[in-house]
Structure 1
Amino acid sequence: MVLRCKSLIATFITLTVSGCNIIPGSHFEGIESSTDAEQYQHELDKVNIQLIDSALIASERTKEPGKKNASVSKTLDVSTYEYRLGVGDVLTIGVWDHPELTIPAAVQRTAEFDGFRVQADGTISYAYAPNIKAEGKTVNEVRAELVKRLSRVIENPQVDVKVVGFKSQRTYVTGEVEKPGVFPITEVPTTLIDAINQAGGLTEKADWTSVTFSRGEKTEVISLNDFYERGDVSKNRLLQHGDIVHIARNDQQNVFVLGDVKKSGTVTINRYGLSLAQALSESGGLNENTANASGVFVLRKRDFEKEGVMADVYQLDAKSITALVLADKFKLQPSDIVYVTSAPVARWNRVISLLLPSVTAVERVDNLGN
């Protein structure tokens, strides 16, 4: 994270010290030669420049994940879930009206201590019913076998079987949760969201868009935004023995606010997103005496090799009252660069060409981090 920030700031410092005839707000008054004009025009051909207005906001909203399909799954079907016993699980067994077959409760002992543990060979042994296969069976299946065996010596036995120690199966929750650890799989279905809640919930530094779910050799990255915002449980998972849930840090969920603001630096995108207005506010706002309110720009990296465009550049004219509403509606994305200039907008074409290397710098640092 520190490397990303330093590299980006170093790029802008280089631009600043390279001469007062380059940076916005300096003594540069225009393009001095046709060669310069061709060079800057060539750079501008690599970017897509758009004005932040109501039409753009409406267009961006249609691109947001989940907006295209309003129909989402609201329930996770766990009706067929059955807990199957494993080696190490502990059972209590009672036979109605036959106290001699039921272990009495003791003050100094627990039900787990006195219970019947599934042995390494997968069996349990009970009076008149030795070596009952329990591993891989449900509680009801074990009860049915006990009834069958005990019926040889007891008329119509009423048998009660419960699991008092879930020891055979577990799942793991790691990363940015309050209490990472190992959690048992029980007779109550446990989902990915349940496991996160059992771990105390996500921390402030958790990345809501990057939850890694691993089962065996298969790993997938799940975003929880749709689940928490719209109740879309298609992002949820019913956990099994050995599943691993890892919540990453939000180090990659940052935007960079630079230029003529009171406090330049990085601003983190939280689970609720980050608007341009919020990013400017957290940076102390524009410098009233020197900043050009018409020159609030957002640079967003694109894949030049695939799309032929190096970056999207969005301009906000903050002199307008409606601009405050637009800025609040304009959602930023990770690695966006917000830049406020003190130069007249008429000179901004040249500034764009000078800032393009910073987009490449962010991409280069991203690759180093990966």
Structure 2
Amino acid sequence: MSLLHKLILPFASVILITGCTLPGSNLSLEEKNVVNANEQQLTQVEQINVYALSHSFVAGFRSHYAMEKAQPNDALDSEMALYEYRVGPGDVLNITIWDHPELTIPAGSYRSAESSGNWVHSDGKIFYPYIGFVQVADQTVVEIREKLTVLLSKYIENPQVDVNIAAFRSQKSYVTGEIKNPGQQPITNIPLTLLDAINNAGGLSADADWRHVTLTRKGDAENISLYQLMQKGDLTQNRLMQQGDIIHVPRNDSQKVFVLGDVKNPEMLKIDRSGMTLTEALSSVGGINELSADATGVFVVRSSARDAKNGPYLQTVRDKNRAANAAEQSPSVVANIYQLDISEASALVIGTEFKLEPYDIVYVTSAPIERYNRLIRQIMPTISAFNVLSEGALRIHNWN
């Protein structure tokens, strides 16, 4: 039997080594800071925090970041009420002096007011008979009319002057990205808002990310949510457009989450315009594998950098669960993990209230017995080969 022992010893070594490492991936809560929403005192570990999703936690979670709701924009209303267009180089003015046709160039049936008007030169001046060059840039039509009236009164008794803008050419805003008709949007004497500019350009395309629209003004970029503006009626997201403003609507390529682990069809999902909840993500991949998944181990892994807006609320939860220690320093958090236990199917209701963020990773762990089954399935060919070798060795030994 010495030959049999020689075969058994290597095989036993293989079993011992492989027994320490189960095949396949898994998400363990060891060496992570498990923060329980029920205010139990738990051990703090560095860098990664785990939060159990419950009705009370999700309710508090939602209440600590800006709720999407309809609200007015009094500042914008005031801006629009006081808005006056100021003339700039390239604009064309139409100036009329009543009872003095010799000073008014007739447009005629074949000439438009734009082609026959007074063009504002690059230095901001126009030329007008008798009074010569007049500075009009950065002035309203009312101010220009008053200036012309004073200057012409030296040559005409009580002149009746009318000034209007025949062509708006000096000021433009730009709409780029996932818009049906991207391009320039002229700024005129009618106030132009961001929402007006988007609609004038044909609206959003099918692939637009309307939650992360960028408004760039004089080198400073601001994020605008068209979802809150259009869908929820939050008028604080609207802006009055100014010269040189750039509105950029990105593609929704970054609006994706990853569903991995023990689900029926692991895949990457795109967050649509109305958003995506945890329950929606699970249903989109066919749900968890009922025979092998650990229903208590549904996790959402989120980078702490992308979870910054929820930081204040998460900090209060951690403070309640951290052992009182004045000298303790908070570790650097690299990720937050949210755990949902759906062993009771009614807990999926909690998942319908938990919204996913771009680049979230939804991971479903396998049950411990399934992980051991994976190991058994891997070592079965080795056991079969060992049986064949041992039977052959015994036959040779007996034959000798």
Q: Provide TM-score, normalisation by structure 1.
A: 0.72
Match of residue 364 from structure 1: none
The answer as to whether partners of 1:74 and 1:231 remain within 8 angstroms in 2 is no
The answer as to whether partners of 2:71 and 2:233 remain within 8 angstroms in 1 is no
1:265 deviates by 1.7
Tell me how far apart the structure 1 counterparts of residues 272 and 66 of structure 2 sit (CA, whole Å): 16
CA deviation vs aligned residue, 1:141-188 (integer Å, no higher than 9, x gap): 111122223334444333221112111122222222222212222112
Tell me how far apart the structure 2 counterparts of residues 271 and 75 of structure 1 sit (CA, whole Å): 28
Change (3 A) 1:337 1:121: closer
The answer as to whether partners of 1:24 and 1:343 remain within 8 angstroms in 2 is no
87-96 or 101-110: bigger deviation: 101-110
Match of residue 283 from structure 1: 285
SS of equivalent to 2:30: helix
Match of residue 63 from structure 1: 64
Change (3 A) 1:41 1:215: closer
Letter in structure 1 aligned against 2:58 = I
Tell me how far apart the structure 2 counterparts of residues 148 and 70 of structure 1 sit (CA, whole Å): 49
- Of residues 331, 335, 353, the one that matches 2:355 is 331
Count of paired positions: 316
Change (3 A) 1:140 1:306: farther
The answer as to whether partners of 2:194 and 2:241 remain within 8 angstroms in 1 is yes
Among the aligned pairs, what percent are the same residue? 47
Match of residue 3 from structure 1: none
1:23 deviates by 2.9
Letter in structure 2 aligned against 1:23 = G
SS of equivalent to 1:323: helix
- Long gaps (5+) in structure 1: 1-17, 26-38, 348-370
Q: Provide TM-score, normalisation by structure 2.
A: 0.67
Tell me how far apart the structure 2 counterparts of residues 182 and 61 of structure 1 sit (CA, whole Å): 39
1:92-171 counterparts in 2 under 5 A?
92-171=94-173
CA deviation vs aligned residue, 1:344-370 (integer Å, no higher than 9, x gap): 5998xxxxxxxxxxxxxxxxxxxxxxx
1:116 deviates by 1.2
Letter in structure 1 aligned against 2:53 = I
1:61 deviates by 0.7
Letter in structure 1 aligned against 2:350 = L
Tell me how far apart the structure 1 counterparts of residues 127 and 92 of structure 2 sit (CA, whole Å): 12
Cα RMSD after superposing both structures: 3.5
1:28-43 counterparts in 2 under 5 A?
41-42=30-31
Change (3 A) 1:51 1:108: same
Letter in structure 1 aligned against 2:253 = D
220-229 or 263-272: bigger deviation: 220-229
Tell me how far apart the structure 2 counterparts of residues 241 and 306 of structure 1 sit (CA, whole Å): 46
Tell me how far apart the structure 2 counterparts of residues 195 and 263 of structure 1 sit (CA, whole Å): 42
Match of residue 311 from structure 1: 335
1:50-89 counterparts in 2 under 5 A?
50-66=51-67, 73-76=73-76, 77-78=78-79, 79-89=81-91
Tell me how far apart the structure 2 counterparts of residues 210 and 265 of structure 1 sit (CA, whole Å): 24
CA deviation vs aligned residue, 1:234-258 (integer Å, no higher than 9, x gap): 4433332222222333333221111
CA deviation vs aligned residue, 1:320-360 (integer Å, no higher than 9, x gap): 3422321111111222111223425998xxxxxxxxxxxxx
1:239-258 counterparts in 2 under 5 A?
239-258=241-260
The answer as to whether partners of 1:254 and 1:269 remain within 8 angstroms in 2 is yes
Match of residue 49 from structure 1: 50
Change (3 A) 1:24 1:126: closer
Tell me how far apart the structure 2 counterparts of residues 63 and 55 of structure 1 sit (CA, whole Å): 13
Change (3 A) 1:307 1:332: farther
Change (3 A) 1:281 1:212: same
Tell me how far apart the structure 2 counterparts of residues 282 and 109 of structure 1 sit (CA, whole Å): 62
1:108 deviates by 3.0
1:109 deviates by 2.6
Question: Which has the larger Rg?
Answer: 2
Match of residue 301 from structure 2: 299
